[in-house]
Structure 1
């Protein structure tokens, strides 16, 4: 059996506890500690590890610096901006030349019906401490590389400021001038070669959900029978739990298996 581990965005800015991340998700630090311990237990049986990592700029369409209201104020984190808000002037791009493209982007999000535009606290800024991995998980990954003379497949995403990039497979809205926003064929092919893919990461409601949906859409929903979701290794952004709960229910109905980090492959 060829076993892969897919870890989504296990970065310090998403972790609570000692990391005190910019976009801390309750339970995330413990989630990733459990993944690190599982990796120590199963390292000899794991053939490949894929780790996705957010990589954002301060000025990003989903960060406060992009937007201003009529009084010149930036939006507070977790503000939802709609196309109607932009059309009425309630919110506008701080750079006037960006207004029309920003409006087109939000309209497309609404047409797709996946997520609205949510303004996040600046997080996983390129080069920052918050962009780095959960410390215990990083130590476990480097130990696995050393023991097996292997290389973790690190997959970065999110450096295009014009689109959110929850999924490790593709951006929310593709930028035809940026191949990094288009489907990640290399990752899809690597996962397609696995017999079993164990999945963990943050946040369940967003990046994990989007990544798994996109893998299933690309490879076929029958592939979900190869996936094992680690239920104690992923948590939702507060207020968005319904996204994560509905995702798990649908994926389980379609054949994705469930396990905990302690029981997987016992």
Structure 2
């Protein structure tokens, strides 16, 4: 493991392989959660399902106890953008819920999030979820060896702006990841390209657009965790952890390593 550009952590191929194991735990757990989402289920029940899934795969939840966070996932419903604490809230038909999950294997982290609709939702909500996920993939696809972190930011923002009048959170960003869940550098979802640390083989980043149907401004609830839109507009959140390898881009939390999405975007797949 080495360091570059003010503390940015660079992983060896062997360390990336362990991160892939953690990423698969996250990806598999999120698919279990996707299948469990239904009207009437509580976010606490989803949290129990997630913790059981993570531990049954020989991993440890990244979130549980992190800076005092009391659960294994974040479950953020409707106007809650991120960091929602699971509890007694029952999901209702027409809701959307962001499910953010992290896992640790042998000291190395994976982190990803999906936004799931609870049955049919209005077309503008379904479109919001689609745009947010697509923006994440466009951001990942913009990462090239020798480029800069804000190349990702610019790609995320450009895609969202091209799709409609959405709000993009600026106060919350993606991040470096590896031996800790949150490392340098921040990965903003807006910005000009060509800035920030250089993108190199072995750098691992979590890219996570947070997009709203209204404005970009948010408030923090009294629980000191849950972030909500100030205008009450609904939000979506999508996240994957990826790295650059000698042969291309490898999405460590995607079950197929990101091969299908990257290939569709013309990006060399770097998984092994």
Higher strand content, 1 or 2? 2
Choose between structure 1 and 2 for higher RCO, CA contacts under 8 A separated by at least 6 residues. Answer: 1
Give the alignment's TM-score, normalised by structure 1. 0.29
| Larger proportion of helix | 1
Larger of the two Rg values belongs to structure: 1
